[in-house]
Chain A
Amino acid sequence: MRSFCVLWLLACITLAPPFAAAATPAATLPQDSAYRIPPLLLRDQQGTTFAFASLRGTPRLVGMFYGSCQMVCPLEIETLKRIEQTLHRRGGTPVSVLLVSFDPARDDVARLKQMAAEHHVQAPLFRLARPEHGDEGMLAGVLGIAYRPLPDGSFSHNVVVALLDADGRLRATTDASATIDPAFVQAILDLQAAR
């Protein structure tokens, strides 16, 4: 195994280049805006269809989930609700949330509606959405979200909720676990104060 570790280190050194700085001037969107992903059409728990890029204009939290997830995804939604409560206590305003399903085959609008009701969240402030057209994998990639279907129908995945500023730049992330990250809340407050 030792030789394998050495090989792995070599692979890291030779294969992992540094992330490039922005090279070309911004046109309509900043170079590092998540809204630069190819067109992605979504439908939320109320059946409303909208383009992901149309959400530009206000800061929001964006994450992904799948509806049949038993443990982490319900926790993700409850944690986001608690972040909203913390914001309110600290003088902030409600922040819009978008969670996109990476299991559109099973997460239809009826299921999204049911989940929203179970967690007492309402659109448009808190949207659960499914991809209708386009590649949600591109969204996952820019947010640092990874998922892989497992043989039993569940997914191996991580949880990342990203704070995007009004232009779609990623300002902070949280794993949305039970403990609320004060730095993440502060990043939202800072963004709201700057507007």
Chain B
Amino acid sequence: MPARIAGWLMLLALAPVAMAADYVAIPGGHFVSALAVDSAAARIAIKPFAMRVEPVTNAEYLHFVRAYPDWQRGQVTPLFAGSQYLAAWRDPLTPGPDARPDQPVTGVSWFAARAFCAGEQARLPSWYEWEYVAAADASRRDARGDPARNQQILGAILASTGHLPGRIGQHPANVFGVRDLNRLLWEWTGDYAAMFPNADARVAGAGPSLALCGGSALAFADKSQFALMMRVAALTALQPADAAPRVGFRCVRDLPGA
């Protein structure tokens, strides 16, 4: 079986470090965001990029804090991570029974998520990038018009509220090849703090303080996207150093020439 051996050798050569994450190329395109711009629906151009297939897991985050001790619980400056940082972990270098290796890491601040992504030459997605990929289901790039699909997502979110997210990879990938976007957890985006409804807000701290339920709903052009409204409300309620039990993240990368 020389071909098979050659295949294995090639795989070994392509694996630069342990824990190298799977990214999948997302083709660019246009879509209408559920978020309004100046109270109207907005058509958004998305450049091609690459996205992590799955959210960052406890196992991957453990690898990160071993490599970057400044981000270990107990070491990290409180400016970057509040008291609930990695609260479900048994100790700073042991996720323990409540944070299994294949569960998404949660209880991580926006600063920590940013630092993790930078550590693998990546960044947090923009809201529009995340929303563009999350609009898909297993067969359609934009499945948001399907009431049954929307109801399923909402049901899954409501059923899991109050629990840590379950294991990754329990549902089929969407048409882009990405998993676990809608049902499992809330995910930080790089620009989450600026998702307040009024552009050019002049009030200091306007982000979180204006993100009341009415305010966030007003920013939605598509009122059928109830799960997205909950997501935006949950994210915009957080300060960037906050660590919350259902908020994790995944990273994206720019593609050369995009």
Which A residues fall within an 8 A CB radius of B?
A: 1, 4-5, 7-12, 14-24, 31-34, 36, 38, 69, 71-72, 135, 137-138, 141-142, 144, 146-152, 154-160, 173-175, 177
Question: Assuming A141-B110, A141-B111, is B233 touching A19 (CB within 8 A)?
Answer: no
Q: Which residues of A contact B79 (CB under 8 A)?
A: 31-34, 36, 142
Q: Which residues of B contact A23 (CB under 8 A)?
A: 74, 78
Using CB atoms, name the residue of chain B closest to A23. Answer: B78
A1→B244 contact, CB < 8 A: no
Q: Which of B43, B115, B194, B238: most chain A CB closer than 10 A?
A: B194
5 nearest CB pairs, A to B? A148-B194, A146-B193, A20-B83, A146-B194, A148-B191
Is B205 interfacial (CB 8 A cutoff)?
yes
B202→A177 contact, CB < 8 A: yes
A4→B78 contact, CB < 8 A: no
Is B65 interfacial (CB 8 A cutoff)?
no
Question: Assuming A11-B230, A151-B42, is B204 touching A175 (CB within 8 A)?
Answer: yes
A150→B199 contact, CB < 8 A: yes
Is B34 interfacial (CB 8 A cutoff)?
no
* B interface residues, how many (CB within 8 angstroms): 61
Is B77 interfacial (CB 8 A cutoff)?
yes
A156→B193 contact, CB < 8 A: no
Which B residues fall within an 8 A CB radius of A?
A: 37, 42-45, 74-75, 77-84, 110-111, 114-115, 118, 126-127, 161-162, 190-191, 193-196, 198-207, 212-214, 216-217, 226, 229-230, 233-234, 237-247
B162→A19 contact, CB < 8 A: no
Q: Which residues of A contact B162 (CB under 8 A)?
A: 14
Q: Which residues of A contact B202 (CB under 8 A)?
A: 72, 158-159, 175, 177
Contact for A147 among B111, B114, B161, B191, CB less than 8 A:
B191
Contact for A173 among B111, B204, B229, B242, CB less than 8 A:
B204
User: Roughly how many angstroms separate A76 CA and B45 CA in the complex, as a whole number?
Assistant: 30
Q: Which residues of B contact A22 (CB under 8 A)?
A: 77-78
Using CB atoms, name the residue of chain A closest to B75. Answer: A24
User: Roughly how many angstroms separate A149 CA and B195 CA in the complex, as a whole number?
Assistant: 10
Contact for B203 among A5, A32, A158, CB less than 8 A:
A158
User: Roughly how many angstroms separate A144 CA and B206 CA in the complex, as a whole number?
Assistant: 9
